[in-house]
Amino acid sequence: MSMATAPEERPEVAKYPGGPDLYRLRHSAAHVLATAVTELFPDVKVAGGPPIENGFYYDFARPQPFTPEDLVQIEARMREIVAANQPFEYSETNRDEARRRFEGAGEKYKLHFLSMVPEGAKITYYKNGPFLDLCRGPHLQSTGQVKAFKLTHVAGAYWLGQERNEMLQRIYGTAFATQTELDEYLKRVEEALKRDHRRLGRELDLFSIHEEVGPGLVFWHPRLGIVRHLMEQLWKDEHLKRGYQFVYSPHLASEKLYQISGHLENYADLMYSPMDIDGQPYRVKPMNCPGHIMIYNSRKHSYRELPVRFAELGTVYRYERSGVLHGMERVRGFTQDDSHVFCTPDQLEDEVIAILDLMDFLLKTFHYDYRCYLATRPKDKYLGTEEEWAFATAALQKAMERRGLPYEIDEGGGAFYAPKIDVKLRDAIGREWQCPTIQVDLNLPKRFGVYYMGPDGQDHEVIMLHRALYGSLERFAGIYIEHTGGEFPVWIAPVQVQVIPANPKANDYAQDTARMLKDAGIRVETDLRDEKMGAKIRDAELMKIPYMLVVGPREADAGTVSPRRKGVGQLETLTRQAFLERVQKEVRERS
């Protein structure tokens, strides 16, 4: 006799974000949706409708597309079904009965799901009102318990997610235990939409991606170019202070290099096809590490020289499926703020601490909270010995402990060649983004024969750390645009001050003021267009420029300015020098 798994114990239910109760609620809401749709549109065929992160959906086959008006009507019908408080009734059946039923109704999608039920497993229905579904549950007791829900949108979805199959219509919705939670969620979604970096990228003239160039390849416009320059400058200054050496490596390399590194063997999928140079296959680089090893290995190193810390803003190209590309956040060409540290086993822990210090400095500068995860040895496929893994993992762990950083363990989450610390940033609206990573490589030093000469005069294998702290500049910038909502702090804002003459008579004073600020290193623009002052103020507002200086004859006579601070409002009138000092202070403090 075999015990059937209770619905609550199925992994997708037990591990559902928000818990099994929320799973039950959202799955029930999906049935209420299907009930409403089959009642209102008797010609539809139903496919399936599971809970998903943040909500639920149900797939339908119907020749005409559902319109926004249809959604309003469906939602209204759903409210009636909830008010009717129909019980969800569980029943069991057998394969033949179920087959006859769905064949009779022409429900070919359900027939497919029926065929997927393993031999010997129970075949179960849930029914509410007129709607009966082949379903494993779990459900609420009745539709009346579906309290707070909302349909959000319709999108096409291939049957079984495969592009050669027909396109179904997927109606999405969400449901929460309380109206307050639903309202808060909808507000967060709206906020995320407002901050979408692809939208802000267009509106603020920050970057573009072109069909003629190819997907996943990003063009940085001047307004984001200056942001990148300042990110790089900060990064470089800090690395020099902390004992790193800058290196530069070519974007192309012979396949020989990637044979040694193992990339051809292990990462062929993410590398672009070879190009023929003088009859030899070359590749664009997918990673910077082999290049840095070439530099290290170009001469012998004594233990006295270690640690050696190479850093490069290294541009790499990796293949990503077009379906997963997303603005600047997931791309095919990007620049990593990459670094490789070569050290002795004794130095490892201190090196990790130094990296954590630098990471903390950078993330705090951009006003992020973050969380650390220690990703340990994968269960099955891994390189290196158990002792090596234990040593490297303990070093990462002790470093976080000595630094007083809380962390969680991501069991088996390491790369197959390295344990690592993964760091997730938390943005202004509470979303988490994986950016920095610190890895102890247990593979490349062996493949390339990377050694140092010890006090005993013998060669010893180095410990090699990989680390990126921004991750990639593209991704970091994309996330930062969303974190700030495009309102960059003064120190990194593309334009820090917009000078607006109140009328043409003030043009000279406006230009003179701009010149004075510019000479002091402030990024300033003067709006001399033949437009009304109100329109100029509105435009500067839309471009999210931190300071606006509206100057008229009165200011010109007194040699003053009356600044407006974005998000604060009108400030008191002050001298130009006092204003300059105020801006300079904000830049210095990167506040």
Query: Known catalytic residues?
Result: 289, 318, 336, 338, 340, 420, 466
Given a contact cutoff of 8 angstroms between Cβ atoms, the answer to whether 283 and 317 are in contact is no
Please state the closest distance from residue 467 (CB atom) to Zn ion, in A.
8
Please state the closest distance from residue 428 (CB atom) to Zn ion, in A.
30
Nearer to Zn ion, 110 or 466 (CB): 466
Best CA proximity match to 173, nearest among 26, 61, 24:
26
Best CA proximity match to 171, nearest among 319, 61, 314:
61
Nearer to Zn ion, 174 or 560 (CB): 174
Please state the closest distance from residue 222 (CB atom) to Zn ion, in A.
31
Binding window for Zn ion (CB under 5 A); candidates: 125-133, 427-435, 480-488, 508-516: 125-133
Considering only residues 427 to 466 of the shown chain, the ones binding Zn ion according to CB under 5 A are 466
| CA 396-261-214 angle, 5° bins | 95
* Single-letter residue type at 301: H
Given a contact cutoff of 8 angstroms between Cβ atoms, the answer to whether 77 and 39 are in contact is yes
Please state the closest distance from residue 71 (CB atom) to Zn ion, in A.
21
Nearer to Zn ion, 466 or 544 (CB): 466
**Beta strands 547-551 and 497-501: pairing type?**
parallel
> Residue 126 carries which DSSP code?
E
**Beta strands 524-526 and 333-343: pairing type?**
unpaired
CA distance 395 to 454: 21
Nearer to Zn ion, 289 or 497 (CB): 289
Nearer to Zn ion, 439 or 496 (CB): 439
Nearer to Zn ion, 231 or 465 (CB): 465
φ/ψ of 519, rounded to 5, equals: -60, -25
Nearer to Zn ion, 292 or 377 (CB): 292
Please state the closest distance from residue 143 (CB atom) to Zn ion, in A.
13
Q: How far is CA 326 from CA 223, 330, 395, in A?
A: 20, 5, 35
Given a contact cutoff of 8 angstroms between Cβ atoms, the answer to whether 519 and 483 are in contact is no
Give the 3-state secondary structure percentages of the chain, helix then strand then coil, rounded to 5: 40, 25, 30
Binding window for Zn ion (CB under 5 A); candidates: 135-143, 220-228, 231-239, 298-306: 135-143
> Residue 2 carries which DSSP code?
-
Best CA proximity match to 248, nearest among 198, 217, 280, 285:
285
Asked if 467 is part of the footprint of Zn ion (rule: CB under 5 A), the reply reads no
| CA 318-320-321 angle, 5° bins | 155
Please state the closest distance from residue 31 (CB atom) to Zn ion, in A.
6
CA distance 94 to 278: 68
Nearer to Zn ion, 107 or 133 (CB): 133
CA distance 29 to 12: 17
Binding window for Zn ion (CB under 5 A); candidates: 134-142, 154-162, 378-386, 502-510: 134-142
Please state the closest distance from residue 291 (CB atom) to Zn ion, in A.
9
**Beta strands 497-501 and 524-526: pairing type?**
parallel
Residues 6+ apart with CB under 8 A from 165: 158, 159
Asked if 289 is part of the footprint of Zn ion (rule: CB under 5 A), the reply reads yes
Nearer to Zn ion, 135 or 495 (CB): 135
> Residue 83 carries which DSSP code?
H
| CA 165-168-173 angle, 5° bins | 140
Best CA proximity match to 6, nearest among 137, 152, 159:
137
Please state the closest distance from residue 341 (CB atom) to Zn ion, in A.
10
Question: Under rule CB under 5 A, how many of the chain's residues touch Zn ion?
Answer: 4
Binding window for Zn ion (CB under 5 A); candidates: 207-215, 269-277, 287-295, 372-380: 287-295
Nearer to Zn ion, 133 or 555 (CB): 133
Given a contact cutoff of 8 angstroms between Cβ atoms, the answer to whether 298 and 272 are in contact is no
Peptide bond before residue 250 is cis, with ω within 30 degrees of 0 = no
CA distance 423 to 425: 7
Please state the closest distance from residue 536 (CB atom) to Zn ion, in A.
48
Q: Which of helix, strand or coil describes residue 230?
A: helix
Q: How far is CA 283 from CA 256, 258, 268, in A?
A: 10, 9, 11
Phi-psi region of 106 (alpha: psi -120 to 50; beta: other; left: phi over 0): left
Asked if 469 is part of the footprint of Zn ion (rule: CB under 5 A), the reply reads no
Please state the closest distance from residue 135 (CB atom) to Zn ion, in A.
3
> Applying CB under 5 A, which of residues 135, 400, 497, 502 lies at the interface with Zn ion?
135
- Residues that bind Zn ion in the complex, under the rule CB under 5 A: 133, 135, 289, 466
